[in-house]
């Protein structure tokens, strides 16, 4: 692990543990122990297993999108790159630091750089569509069915901001996708910016290489809208499966802690999950630490007993953050060992 990544890991874990301790300190009381006696460990284990299944959905999305383009990427390779991605995303702001890892690992599996970039970008487009639409539906549902619940203004503002950014990025992508000349001009400026300190000969060489990647990217997009259309269908399907599965995990954690399952609890938990997810996409802290714990505590205190809010936040973050760190670290070490072996 690089020195910079170690520093980010220490900072992110430190912030997370500090905020978790504060949440536990503020919420644990005499009723906490009584509430824990009705805890159902089987449901908590199921919640963890569901998150693992989400990683399989993500891996399947990548594999099927690549297969639609004519590239056979082993499913285990997809699992490893997804897990490694979760580790990088957990120590970088906005949880989107893993994209270069996915592109690099796809190229290692034989997918050309431009095509790999297109696959990864399309993944984010699908995520943006699902989250933007989900936020709109949740805001409508809150106003229509749960108008009496007053949510923290900061959380709602952050959710609106993030959803607006998602929608804007999706629209920007559609503009570039439909206008390759504009895309080439934009990518050319990025290439010049990245290689401005190089000699003219090296700049020209870098530009031609970059232009080749952009050409592959647009060719891949044309395939997705033509012969590889099945890749788009599978990509969107597995994106929906991934996010829906992730969003209902919190409901199972609540039930595992003995909270009575009701339709209102299920719907509100689903709504809160969408809002929290889009909030965590805003690049504030590495892996969204601190922001996640505070958002979870402030929202779920509205629908579950205060005495178990801290325990809920602890279990939730173990599943979605610390579990990712563990499996991501193992996957990243596999990649490091592979690269070291190739160099010898």
**pLDDT for residue 103 is more than 60:** yes
CA separation for the pair 198, 192 (Å, rounded): 10
Determine the pLDDT at residue 293. Answer: 87
Quote the tokens at residue 338. Answer: 């592979």
Quote the tokens at residue 182. Answer: 């504009």
Q: What is the pTM of this model?
A: 0.84
Sign of CA dihedral 157, 163, 167, 173: positive
Best CA proximity match to 217, nearest among 184, 240, 192: 184
The partner residues of 93 in beta bridges, in order of sequence, read 286
Confidence of residue 52 (pLDDT cuts 50, 70, 90): very high
Determine the pLDDT at residue 213. Answer: 64
Determine the pLDDT at residue 201. Answer: 66
* Sequence-ordered list of residues with C-beta below 8 angstroms from that of 298, at least 6 positions apart, any chain: 152, 155
CA separation for the pair 212, 220 (Å, rounded): 12
The partner residues of 80 in beta bridges, in order of sequence, read none
**pLDDT for residue 78 is more than 90:** yes
* Sequence-ordered list of residues with C-beta below 8 angstroms from that of 101, at least 6 positions apart, any chain: 81, 84, 85, 88
Sign of CA dihedral 334, 335, 338, 344: negative
Confidence of residue 83 (pLDDT cuts 50, 70, 90): very high
CA separation for the pair 122, 141 (Å, rounded): 28
Determine the pLDDT at residue 209. Answer: 63
Q: What residues make up the domain containing 323?
A: 3-343
Confidence of residue 192 (pLDDT cuts 50, 70, 90): low
CA separation for the pair 102, 90 (Å, rounded): 15
* Sequence-ordered list of residues with C-beta below 8 angstroms from that of 180, at least 6 positions apart, any chain: 218
Best CA proximity match to 20, nearest among 320, 287, 311, 251: 311
User: In this predicted model, what pLDDT tens digit does every residue of 106-134 receive, in sequence order?
Assistant: 999 999 888 888 898 889 888 888 888 88
Determine the pLDDT at residue 113. Answer: 84
Place of tokens 């970039």: 117
How many distinct structural domains can be found in the chain? 1
Quote the tokens at residue 17. Answer: 């543990």
User: In this predicted model, what pLDDT tens digit does every residue of 271-287 receive, in sequence order?
Assistant: 889 888 888 877 677 76
């Amino acid at each position: 692990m690089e020195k910079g990544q170690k520093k980010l890991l220490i900072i992110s874990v430190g912030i997370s543990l500090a905020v978790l301790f504060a949440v536990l300190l503020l919420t644990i009381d005499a009723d906490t122990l009584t509430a824990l006696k009705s805890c159902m460990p089987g449901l908590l284990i199921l919640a963890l297993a569901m998150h693992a299944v989400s990683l399989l959905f993500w891996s399947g999305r990548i594999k099927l999108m690549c297969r639609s383009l004519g590239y056979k990427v082993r499913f285990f390779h997809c699992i490893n790159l997804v897990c490694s991605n979760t580790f990088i995303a957990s120590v970088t702001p906005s949880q989107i630091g893993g994209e270069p890892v996915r592109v690099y690992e796809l190229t290692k599996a034989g997918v050309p750089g431009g095509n790999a970039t297109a696959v990864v970008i399309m993944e984010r487009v699908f995520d943006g569509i699902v989250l933007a639409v989900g936020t709109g539906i949740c805001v409508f549902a809150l106003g229509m069915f749960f108008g009496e619940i007053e949510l923290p203004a900061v959380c709602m503002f952050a959710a609106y901001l993030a959803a607006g950014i998602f929608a804007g990025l999706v629209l920007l992508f559609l503009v570039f996708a439909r206008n390759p000349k504009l895309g080439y001009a934009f990518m050319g400026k990025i290439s010049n910016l990245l290689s401005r300190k190089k000699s003219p000969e090296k700049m020209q060489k870098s530009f031609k290489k970059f232009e080749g990647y952009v050409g592959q990217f647009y060719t891949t997009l044309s395939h997705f809208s033509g012969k590889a259309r099945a890749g788009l269908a599978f990509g969107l399907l597995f994106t929906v499966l991934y996010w829906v599965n992730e969003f209902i995990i919190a409901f199972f954690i609540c039930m595992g802690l003995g909270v009575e399952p009701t339709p209102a609890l299920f719907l509100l938990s689903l709504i809160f999950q969408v809002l929290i997810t889009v909030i965590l996409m805003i690049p504030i802290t590495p892996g969204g630490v601190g922001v996640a714990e505070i958002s979870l505590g402030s929202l779920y205190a509205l629908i579950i007993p205060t005495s178990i809010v801290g325990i809920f936040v602890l279990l939730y973050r173990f599943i979605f953050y610390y579990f990712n760190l563990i499996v991501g670290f193992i996957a990243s070490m596999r990649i490091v060992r592979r690269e070291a072996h190739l160099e010898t």
